[in-house]
């Protein structure tokens, strides 16, 4: 029997609170093209999607070329903010997440990330917080279809040898829950992110954790580590 345990975390809204820098970069991209910047509460609804998909949802009337220009503007603005002295404070880890990640890795659980960020952006975020050593598989739209397609989960399982029944996806959006459901694995939601808990449950979450202690217990149960 395959006993590999794999936990796949979303990044934005689950590991780190990046809504402020994401909105700032999106606003810079829009204003740079002479467009009104979307409100933060609207941008929050598309966090987690592949960048061009997210922009297309924000302004569905735009053609592909215009979406591409906005995406490039976003990348440029985001990269510039990454070089500023307060970069870490713009994209802080949620309280308790570093300890949870370290504890799981120390217990022999295989950890990965499945995110709408680019691979470069993800690696920068993990390195900024000293977490990269804990993750054995990183999945982004650079190497797999974006959420809610199951490709990132399926690829992570293939890379690690984990079976669906031994795999858990943790995220804060309905896109994460749909991705997990489409891949046939357990989905756990977190209430501190960008979609409300009722949306996570409707999208297929087995449960939604209100804090990190509750999440740790749900992970243990989801992996069968507690009878």
Q: What is the pLDDT of residues 29-75, one digit of tens each?
A: 999 999 999 999 999 999 999 999 999 999 999 999 999 999 999 99
On the 0-12 / 13-18 / 19+ scale of CB atoms within 10 A, 85 is exposed
Cis peptide before 148 (omega within 30 of 0): yes
- Please report, for the domain that includes residue 203, its CATH number: 3.40.50.1000
- Please report, for the domain that includes residue 26, its CATH number: 1.10.150
In 3D space, the residue among 19, 17, 26 whose CA is nearest the CA of residue 76 turns out to be 26
Residue 197 and residue 214: Cα distance in Å, rounded? 14
Domain end call among 55, 89, 123: 89
Can you say how many angstroms the Cα of residue 18 is from the centroid of all Cα atoms in its chain?
10
Do 68 and 173 sit in the same domain of this protein? no
For the whole model, what pTM was predicted?
0.92
Phi, psi of 171, rounded to the nearest 5 degrees = -160, 175
- Note whether residue 1 is domain-resident: no
């Amino acid at each position: 029997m395959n006993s590999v345990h794999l936990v796949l975390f979303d990044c934005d809204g689950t590991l780190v609170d990046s809504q402020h820098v994401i909105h700032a970069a999106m606003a810079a991209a829009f204003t740079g093209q002479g467009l009104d910047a979307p409100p933060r509460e609207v941008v929050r609804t598309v966090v987690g999607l592949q960048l061009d998909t997210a922009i297309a949802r924000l302004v569905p009337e735009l053609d592909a070329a215009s979406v591409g220009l906005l995406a490039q503007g976003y990348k440029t603005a985001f990269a510039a903010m990454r070089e500023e002295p307060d970069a870490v404070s713009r994209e802080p880890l949620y309280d308790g997440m570093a300890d949870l990640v370290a504890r799981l890795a120390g217990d022999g659980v295989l950890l990965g990330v499945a995110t709408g960020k680019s691979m470069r952006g993800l690696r920068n975020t993990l390195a900024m917080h000293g977490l990269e050593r804990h993750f054995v598989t990183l999945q982004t739209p650079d190497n797999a279809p974006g959420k809610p397609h199951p490709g990132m989960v399926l690829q992570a399982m293939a890379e690690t040898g984990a079976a669906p029944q031994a795999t858990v996806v943790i995220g804060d959006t309905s896109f994460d829950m749909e991705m997990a459901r489409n891949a046939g694995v357990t989905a756990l939601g977190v209430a501190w992110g960008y979609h409300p808990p009722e949306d996570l449950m409707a999208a297929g979450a087995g449960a939604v954790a209100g804090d990190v202690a509750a999440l740790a217990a749900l992970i243990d149960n989801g992996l069968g580590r507690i009878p």
